Amino acid sequence: MNKNTLIGSILIGAIMIWWFMTTSANNEAAEKAKLAKQAAAKEAAAQVADSAEAPSTSGLVLPGSTAEVKAAPVLGAAGEAAADSAVKDSTVAANDSAAIEAPKVIAQRTVTVETDKFIMTLSNKGGKVQSVIVKALPDSAGHFPELIQDTTLGALDLKLGGADLSDVMFDVEAPEWINVENDTTVQFVFTDANGNQLVRSYGFTKSGVAVRQANKFKGFRVDNYELSWKGGMRETEEFPKGKSFGGTSYFFSEVIFKNNEITERETFSDAMTFDNANYYWVGMRRKYVAMSVQFDSPVPAQVKGKHINLATEGNPDPGTYSLSIADNVRGDSVAYNFMVLPLEWAEVEALGQGYEKIIVTGSKWFPGSSVWFVWICAMLLKLLKFFYSIIPNYGVAIILVTFIVRGITTPFTIKQLKSTSAMSKLKPQLDEINVKYRSDPQKKQAAVMELYAKNGVNPLASCTGGCLPMIIQMPIFMGLFFVLGRAVELRGMPAFLWITDLSRSDVIFHGFSIPFLMPDGLALLPWIMVVTTYFQTKVTMSGNGAMDPAQQKMMVWMMPAMMFLFSAVMPSGLVLYWIVSNFWSIIQYKIIRRDNGNNGPKTVNGKKVVDAEIVK
């Protein structure tokens, strides 16, 4: 082999080696490029698929816009088609700059706003209220209670023209937590495929109880809307354990509203559509707190409610409600105040919207009671707060208010006792007349009237002196009863000794309970109530000569037994009031009967005188 042949062979071999190396590198690069393209295609398809599940700002066309889509407000068929296209043509999706971009994906998030009154969490899913924690009602451990029963459902979902926006993701740029020092607004923005916008905004103040919720329509109009409060309202207080007589009667779960100048409270066990009326506000309440949607002016809304049953074995919760409020849209927005209202009388009364009548309302059976009875309750509560401002103990305040109430009613009681005493003194003579003229009613009536005239007794005056004072006293007693059982001012307030919370039963020993009477443990005040009621009833009945002895004996035992059934689970503030009132009555009757010379049985020469029995 000559020199030229050898050089050529080497060159050919080098060229072949270089060729094989270059080809291998190209194949490897192509394989890598192919894998990269496939990965990019899969990622694009996943993004489109995710956008099919989560509503985007370009997949829904808002009702009332020029290109309205009459489908559910969720990206559906369009998302599936986009995903299929991405899978079939992944190379183009990865490299072609002209490819259609996937809709903007908005992740679900919340914004929590804290004011002096409450902590409210807003969700961009529907732009709604997810949680409300009120600061005015801390529990024994100092924790603030949640007011929304089901925070996954929340409150203030919105429908526009039949399109449900409760699952639509809104864009929000606010931080996750906001401490309100100055007026603050949080905005949630939804933009549809045509560029039309719905802006849901929430306005907060540092110390206000109202959240200004506004819904602004940009680029479109709708005829009607519907607000949904699906999550209900949770009780802030602990329910009594076990079943008891009247144990839950001091707890309230009601739909509340003001329409046509009247504050109403409704309870129902199924579903209810309320009367068509002009509504000032609509909401729900529990024992010590309420929340409502308050309109700027009365609106002819359609209000519906549905009961949510929460009662289980061992949990006597009366349940809560879901609400919907539907009305026509007037203009390019819908706005209202969302109110968070601990039911402190002076604060809710100052709002001027009739919220104080959630605490105490009148009765339909007594005309005008929504005015005069509410006024009585307000005055009694002001008396309690006045004495508390002097002596910071609501137990002492209850005792002092009881003294004042009984002092005011004492003149009526004295008149009643004198009337009863005068009638009882004539009872033997009346019995004789009944026997003598039993066959002649006219002569009997004439003889009775002659007896009355001879002794200066006017039957009509006796009735007025006996019955009317009791009628006058009853509203005061009932007002104090309602105030002590419902006033948030007494919540968690101690009195003295073992009474640590005037709003709850004074349980002194949890290791022993009486089924249906004291299921949570042994309370002391109800037993004191029984003893004082027994002696109070006995003293009262002993001075009533007009009543049959058998009836007197029955009343002496029946009244204490009846009061024990209810006082065992009463708030201790109520029981304390009744005990003090019983002591007042016992002392009052003793003094009055002594002054009238009628203290104890009639005697002659130290011997007891018994009225002769009239034999027929």
Instruction: Please write the tens of the pLDDT for every residue from 402-441.
Output: 999 888 888 877 777 776 777 777 778 887 888 888 788 8
**Residues 232, 330: one domain?**
yes
Instruction: Please write the tens of the pLDDT for every residue from 337-387.
Output: 999 999 999 999 999 999 999 998 877 777 778 888 899 999 999 999 999
Task: Give the three-state DSSP class for 508.
Answer: strand
Tokens of 607: 């011997």
Residue 467 is predicted with a pLDDT of 60
- Is 439 part of any domain? yes
Range with the poorest average pLDDT among 2-6, 245-249, 373-377 = 2-6
Residue 547 is predicted with a pLDDT of 54
Return the CA Rg of the chain: 39
Task: Using the 3D structure, point to which of 344, 363, 396 is the last residue of a domain.
Answer: 344
DSSP lists the bridge partners of residue 339 as: 210, 292
Residue 180 is predicted with a pLDDT of 94
**Residues 125, 85: one domain?**
no
- Residue 243 pLDDT level (bands cut at 50, 70, 90): low
- Residue 120 pLDDT level (bands cut at 50, 70, 90): very high
- Residue 313 pLDDT level (bands cut at 50, 70, 90): confident
Task: Using the 3D structure, point to which of 289, 320, 344 is the last residue of a domain.
Answer: 344
Q: State the pTM of this model.
A: 0.75
Asked if 227 and 324 touch (Cβ cutoff 8 Å), the reply is yes
**Residues 241, 309: one domain?**
yes
Q: What angle do CA 527, 533, 537 make, to 5 degrees?
A: 155
Asked if 119 and 112 touch (Cβ cutoff 8 Å), the reply is yes
Q: Which domain CATH number covers 257?
A: 2.70.98.90
Task: Give the three-state DSSP class for 317.
Answer: coil
Average pLDDT over residues 571-579: 89
Asked if 322 and 308 touch (Cβ cutoff 8 Å), the reply is yes
Is the pLDDT confidence value at 613 over 60? no
- Is 353 part of any domain? no
Is the pLDDT confidence value at 231 over 70? yes
Q: Work out the percent of the chain whose per-residue pLDDT is above 70.
A: 73
Is the pLDDT confidence value at 90 over 50? no
- Is 402 part of any domain? yes
Asked if 179 and 118 touch (Cβ cutoff 8 Å), the reply is no
Residue 208 is predicted with a pLDDT of 93
Q: Work out the percent of the chain whose per-residue pLDDT is above 90.
A: 38
Is the pLDDT confidence value at 147 over 90? yes
**Residues 308, 431: one domain?**
no
Contacts 24+ apart (CB under 8 A), 131-138: 132/291, 132/340, 134/236, 134/289, 134/340, 134/342, 136/289, 136/342, 136/344, 136/488, 137/236, 137/288, 137/289, 137/342, 137/488, 137/491
Domain count, the chain: 3
Going by C-alpha positions, the residue among 192, 213, 209 that lies closest to residue 68 is 192
**Residues 469, 578: one domain?**
yes
**Residues 463, 535: one domain?**
yes
Who has greater pLDDT, 190 or 29? Answer: 190
- Is 360 part of any domain? no
**Residues 532, 415: one domain?**
yes
Determine the straight-line distance between the first and last CA of the chain, rounded to whole angstroms: 167
Residue 181 is predicted with a pLDDT of 93
- Residue 562 pLDDT level (bands cut at 50, 70, 90): confident
Is the pLDDT confidence value at 284 over 70? yes
Give me the domain span that covers residue 51.
3-95
Strands 177-179 and 110-114: parallel
Residue 247 is predicted with a pLDDT of 58
Residue 595 is predicted with a pLDDT of 65
- Is 616 part of any domain? no
- The label of the residue with tokens 């009355």 reads 452
- Is 578 part of any domain? yes
- Is 603 part of any domain? no
Distances (CA, A) of 492 to 32, 138, 502: 72, 9, 7
Instruction: Please write the tens of the pLDDT for every residue from 493-533.
Output: 898 889 988 888 888 887 777 776 777 778 899 899 989 98
Residue 266 is predicted with a pLDDT of 92
C-alpha span between 396 and 533 (Å, rounded): 21
Q: What is the DSSP string of 46-92?
A: HHHHHHHHS--TTT---TTSTT---S-SS--HHHHHHHHHHHHTHHH
Is the pLDDT confidence value at 401 over 80? yes
Residue 520 is predicted with a pLDDT of 74
Highest mean pLDDT among 80-89, 123-132, 254-263, 540-549: 123-132
Residue 605 is predicted with a pLDDT of 45
Is the pLDDT confidence value at 324 over 90? yes
Instruction: Please write the tens of the pLDDT for every residue from 32-69.
Output: 554 554 554 455 444 444 444 444 444 567 777 655 44
**Residues 178, 60: one domain?**
no
Q: What's the whole-number average pLDDT of the chain?
A: 78
Tokens of 228: 């949904």
**Residues 50, 119: one domain?**
no
**Residues 156, 261: one domain?**
yes
**Residues 71, 206: one domain?**
no
Task: Using the 3D structure, point to which of 303, 321, 344 is the last residue of a domain.
Answer: 344
**Residues 40, 122: one domain?**
no
- Is 609 part of any domain? no
Is the pLDDT confidence value at 93 over 50? no
